[in-house]
Structure 1
Amino acid sequence: MTSQASRRRDTAVIFQRMGRVRLFAVFMRPTAQYDVETERGRELMLDHLDWLLDLEDEGRLFAGGPFRADRDKDEEQPGCSASEGPVIDAGGVFVIGAESVEEARLIAAREPFLRAGWRTCTVRTWLLNEGRAVPVGRQVSEDFHGADPTLGTASWERVDETGKGA
C-alpha cells in the first residue's frame, strides 16, 4: 500500500486512482407554475417518480433527489456558508449515464414536470473522479456510453512510460 505522504507527489498513483467516469448531471429548477399541493401537481409528482424509477430500472439512473435549501441554513460551517448562494440554483438533481450530452438532454426533456412547463433544467457533463461510488458510476457509464480513456487528461494527469508526470 502506498503511504499517503508519497502518494501526494506521485502523479502516476494519483492518476491511476482517479475514476474519470463520465456521467451527466441534470439540475432541475421549478418555474412559477410549480405547485405540488394541487391535484395536477400531485399527478405530475407521481409521473416524475415513475419516470425516475423507469430510469433506475434501465440501469441509467446513478443518483437523484431534491435539494433541501430550507435546512442548509442550519448546517453552515465556518468558511463554507450556504447563504452565499448555490453553485447552480436548482430544486433538485439527477445523474444519469448517456452516450452524449445531446442524449442526456433528450432524456431530461422527457421529465414530466419539464414537459408540463413546471420545471426547467440544465444538463452538465460530470466526471466522477473520487469516492466509493466510482465502481457503480463506472458501470452506469459503460452500460450507456462505454469506457472513455481520454477523460481526465489534464496536463498534470499525463504520465510518461516510466510513470512520472509528463
Structure 2
Amino acid sequence: MTHPRVTKDDIMKATEGMLQKQLYVVSTSPINGLGPVMEVLKEHLDFLVEIGKSGVLFGAGPHLADDEQTWNGEGMVILRADSLAHATELAAKDPMHASGARRFTVRPWLLNEGGMRIEVDFATGAYSIE
C-alpha cells in the first residue's frame, strides 16, 4: 500500500493562521553510561546558558525515566536555528557531543499549537510560568 507524500507546503496550508514557527529538536543520549556525561555536565550547562543569551536556545532539559525519579542521561534541546545545518553545527559544539559523552540527532519541528502563560506580580516580584 502506498501512502500519499505530504510536503511542508501541505502542512503550512493545513495550519494556516497557526504559529508555524520552525524550530529544531536535538535528541541526545549517552554513549557509554553516565560517567562521561557527568564529567562534562557543567560545561554542557554553561554552553546552553551561552546559546540562550544569544537567543538561539528555545528550551532544554533532561528526559527522566518512566519512574519519573531517575535519569539515564537522555535529554532534549530545542533550537531557534537558521537551518538544519546550523542546528546540527550547534549540537556538535555542545560539550556533551564534542567530548563523545553523548550522541545526538537533529530533527526539524514546526511549532503550531499550544501556548504558555506567564504571570508577573509587580508588587511582590513573584512570577509563575505555566
Q: C-alpha separation between the residues in 2 aligned to 1:47 and 1:100?
A: 25
Superposition TM-score, scaled by structure 1 size: 0.55
Which of the residues 41, 44, 54 maps onto 1:58? 54
What is the CA-CA distance between 1:33 and the residue it aligns to? 5.0
Instruction: For 1:1-166, list aligned pairs within 5 A.
Output: 15-16=16-17, 18-32=18-32, 34-35=34-35, 42-72=38-68, 91-133=74-116
Structure 1 runs of 4+ with >2 Å offset:
70-73
- Highest CA radius of gyration, 1 or 2? 1
User: Which amino acid in 2 is paired with 1:101?
Assistant: L
Higher relative contact order (CA 8 A, sep 6+): 1
Q: Give the superposed CA RMSD.
A: 2.5
Superposition TM-score, scaled by structure 2 size: 0.69
1:19 touches 1:128 (CA, 8 Å); kept in 2? Answer: yes
Aligned length: 101
* Greater helix proportion: 1
* Greater strand proportion: 2
What is the CA-CA distance between 1:19 and the residue it aligns to? 1.1
SS state at 2:44 partner: helix
Note the residue ranges of structure 1 that are not aligned, 5 or more in a row: 1-11, 74-89, 134-166
User: Which amino acid in 1 is paired with 2:25?
Assistant: A
